[in-house]
Amino acid sequence: MHLCGPTADRCFRNLRKVLGKTEPRLQQIRQTHKLRGSPEFRSPCDGNSANGSTLVLDDELHQKDWKMRRFLVAGNWKMNTNRQTGVALAKELAAVAKMQEPGVEVLVCPPYPYLLPVGEALQGSAVQLGAQDVYFEAPGAFTGEIAVDMLKDCGCGYVLIGHSERRHVMGETDEIINRKVVASIAGGLNVVLCVGELLSEREAGQTETVLDRQMAGGLKGVSETDAAKVVIAYEPVWAIGTGVTASPEQAESAHEHLRKWLTTRYNAEFSSRMRILYGGSVKADNAESLLGQPNVDGALVGGASLKSASFVPIIDAARKLAK
């Protein structure tokens, strides 16, 4: 039995957690792995065995909820920084994330006016550039709005859509959010679709209903192929900027629900590949416990992403877990 590298180790570590299995049972599960030579059978583990054949988990394991997704640690700078502080922060991050890493992706989303200088500061590093919002129409007479093409032109690979501040401060509906999702994917951007319930909705026991509505609304008419360009970010509104973080159990429960929703809407294989980030008061001291949950595939970080001293430890927590 040859394991296929760090990601597979992460799979097993999480499998142990998810299934609550003891070592002997895990050994037994490991025995069920098969080595197959054909690239068609490439596992989402994404690694090759020493002899060049690809390690594939058998169907039993594919049904299980195990880690095979690359962490995404994203900084949402919101309406913060100026050109000088934004560029300085980007340079610091570029210095700590120079190379693409197999297990962790890093993204920053600065305010629109700083996309270009921040993008320049990130050149040659593995830190990716994203925007915080977009408009769904093609370039034209839409004063104050920004088109997908413009974001691409500025070097963005990602765009956040449906952030709670867009929903609750700017009054964006699921329909608007859906149009933005569809336009962004069509224009070649990766989308981070944000969902999350208000405190009153959680207290009324409506968390899952709200998530279902936001997911169905945001992904309306989005095919499986197009949805492959989407990352979900679960951000409970009561945890955003409040210092009150969802407990790892609360986060895991919501993420598990979202994954089940994806299984029903698309299919189990697709759902197992979709990344679901957690956002809401993620900090250096809680990142590892949140990211260590089987269904938490990264973090969307607000306040703590504004200083490298507080953001880099979150990246490091993901790096540690990805090993």
Alpha-carbon gap, residue 281 to 300, rounded angstroms: 9
Stretch that binds ligand 13P, among 27-35, 37-45, 136-144, 274-282 (CB under 6 A): 274-282
* Distance between CA atoms of residues 117 and 132, nearest Å: 16
- What span, in angstroms and rounded, lies between the C-alpha atoms of 301 and 114? 18
Exposed e or buried b for every residue in 47-58, given b needs 16+ CB within 10 A? bbbeeebbbbbe
Site residues (CB under 6 A) for ligand 13P, limited to 233-252: 235, 240-241
Nearest-approach distance from CB 87 to ligand 13P, in angstroms: 21
Tell the smallest beta-carbon distance from residue 134 to ligand 13P (Å): 15
Residue 301 binds ligand 13P (CB under 6 A): yes
Kindly state the smallest distance separating residue 45's Cβ from ligand 13P, in Å: 29
**Distances in Å between the alpha carbon of 193 and those of 9, 180, 184, 295?**
29, 10, 11, 16
| Position 300 contacts ligand 13P (CB under 6 A) | yes
Q: Among residues 18 and 118, whose Cβ is nearest to ligand 13P?
A: 118
Residue of this chain nearest to ligand 13P (CB atom):
302
User: Does position 172 bind ligand 13P by CB under 6 A?
Assistant: no
Site for ligand 13P in 57-76 (CB under 6 A): 76
Q: Indicate which residue of 163, 172, 252, 255 is catalytic.
A: 163
Q: Contact between 291 and ligand 13P (CB under 6 A)?
A: no
Residue 298 interacting with ligand 13P (CB under 6 A) = no
Query: What are the percentages of helix, strand and coil residues in the chain, rounded to 5?
Result: 50, 15, 35
User: What amino acid is encoded at 9 in this protein?
Assistant: D
Strands 190-195 and 230-234, bridge-based pairing: parallel
DSSP category for residue 70: -
**Residues recognised as catalytic:** 163, 235
